[in-house]
Amino acid sequence: MSELTRKAGELDAADPLGGLRDRFVLDDVVYLDGNSLGALPANVPAAVDDVVRRQWGALRIRSWEESGWWTAPERIGDRIAPLVGAAAGQIVVGDSTSVNVFKALVAAVRMAGEGRDEILVDATTFPTDGYIAESAARLTGRTLRAVTPAEVPGALGERTAAVLLNHVDYRTGRLHDLPGLTAAVHEAGAYAVWDLCHSAGALPVGLDEHGVDLAVGCTYKYLNGGPGSPAYLYVRRDLQSRFDSPLPGWTSHAEPFGMRTAYEPASGAPRGRVGTPDILSMLALEAALEVWDGVSIEAVRAKSLALTDFFEECVRAFAPPGRVESVTPAAHSERGSQVALRCDDAGDVMKRLIERGVVGDFRAPDVLRFGFTPLYVGFADVERAARVLGEVLP
């Protein structure tokens, strides 16, 4: 037995989260793609079966009330809230992340007022945020400037209305300084909108603690909600009365069944709703969130850092020297829950890894991306992934 195999065994034996693997449907594949699509929680199939057969099939329209369908967006928002450090009543679930970026950013610009004519966007952002920000700027008559998160403090000024940032860089896994950047944005009198897609469920976010204004995120990655599961929108409580949605649909009306001609927004988190909630996906997500019962996000973070540290150690041991280069920061304070390795023929290497039962993903042009979901990835998985990587690198 190699030294690293022994170490993996010791780390797995001491892992306080090790037992959580039973809450998922897993096989002998090493699944390091939970930062794209989380694994299936074991309780979800039966829960979805109940939603389809009993709630829809038997109760039909009655389920909007009796099965709690109507209030699902806020109820599930409250279930996500502790995972991102938010008190109840500030998160609503629904729509895609892209749509919520649009709502949040336009609302932030409207809150900032007419005098502020510039939006800053993370130049390294996942593309959808950049596209939406460009359209939001055109619609609101503001200019858009793309700057890296490190450049944000120097770019802020009296003109800044809102800043749209990614908490963790989807390509490199770099964790940005949410508390520091949010404080800098506030000092300039602007509003901070954070995209939490790659941090929620992987590390503590502290939305309330750090005074974040607005935030969005998806639920199909580290929250394991399933393919296309709905996203969420956080609006800090004291801003809710000023949240002027650019998509004021009937389900965010103060009196949705009043069928009024004039729009009057609901109070609280429901103000972020738009149209009829996608109940099947939403209730699959609600069931999926049960895997978090009794799990602290701090424990998840501690294991995540141990997993990524160990992966880096194993890659150094198994990969031919100089063949791959980590583009993920070594400092814990700057690392999300993934390791990204730059490699010339990354696309072919990932195909060979997948053939050998190690699933990560490839991000153009040259990045091998490995995501570590502490709820179901163990240290033996990590050692095996790095060993197979060493074997498939030509």
Shortest distance (Å) from residue 127 CB to ligand PLP: 8
Cα separation values, 393 from 113, 172, 191, 300, 347, Å: 55, 20, 46, 31, 12
User: Nearer to ligand PLP by C-beta: 170 or 372?
Assistant: 170
128 binds ligand PLP (CB under 6 A): yes
SS3 361: strand
Number of residues that bind ligand PLP (CB under 6 A): 13
Exactly one of 24, 31, 170, 311 binds ligand PLP (CB under 6 A); that residue is 170
Catalytic residue at 7? no
User: Nearer to ligand PLP by C-beta: 194 or 376?
Assistant: 194
Which range binds ligand PLP by CB under 6 A, 13-21, 65-73, 122-130, 364-372?
A: 122-130
Which range binds ligand PLP by CB under 6 A, 55-63, 94-102, 178-186, 381-389?
A: 94-102
132 binds ligand PLP (CB under 6 A): no
Set 369, 372, 384, 387: catalytic member: 369
Backbone angles phi, psi at 24, to 5 degrees: -125, 160
97 binds ligand PLP (CB under 6 A): yes
Shortest distance (Å) from residue 32 CB to ligand PLP: 15
CB 84 within 8 A of CB 215: yes
Cα separation values, 234 from 169, 281, 291, Å: 20, 19, 22
DSSP secondary structure, 251-318, as one string: GGBSSGGG--SS--BPSSGGGG--SS--HHHHHHHHHHGGGGTT--HHHHHHHHHHHHHHHHHHHHHH
Exactly one of 129, 177, 278, 381 binds ligand PLP (CB under 6 A); that residue is 129
Rg over CA atoms, the chain: 22
232 binds ligand PLP (CB under 6 A): no
Shortest distance (Å) from residue 195 CB to ligand PLP: 5
Shortest distance (Å) from residue 83 CB to ligand PLP: 17
Catalytic residue at 221? yes
122 binds ligand PLP (CB under 6 A): no
Catalytic residue at 126? yes
Q: What secondary structure letter does DSSP report for 85? A: T
CB 186 within 8 A of CB 279: no
Backbone angles phi, psi at 167, to 5 degrees: -70, -45
Angle at 207 between CA 206 and CA 212, to 5 degrees: 135
Site string for ligand PLP, 171-210 (x = CB under 6 A): ------------------------x-xx------------
Exactly one of 5, 96, 251, 296 binds ligand PLP (CB under 6 A); that residue is 96
Shortest distance (Å) from residue 329 CB to ligand PLP: 17
User: Nearer to ligand PLP by C-beta: 225 or 374?
Assistant: 225
Set 24, 31, 102, 126: catalytic member: 126
SS3 182: helix
User: Nearer to ligand PLP by C-beta: 245 or 338?
Assistant: 338
Torsion sign across C-alpha atoms 26, 230, 235, 195: positive
SS3 139: helix
Exactly one of 63, 166, 281, 373 binds ligand PLP (CB under 6 A); that residue is 166
How far apart are alpha carbons 74 and 269 in whole angstroms?
7
Set 23, 79, 142, 221: catalytic member: 221
Cα separation values, 259 from 64, 264, 269, 298, Å: 17, 11, 20, 45
Closest Cα to residue 285, out of 372, 198, 223?
223
Active-site amino acid positions: 126, 195, 220-221, 369
Footprint of ligand PLP on this chain (CB under 6 A)? 96-98, 126, 128-129, 166, 170, 195, 197-198, 218, 231
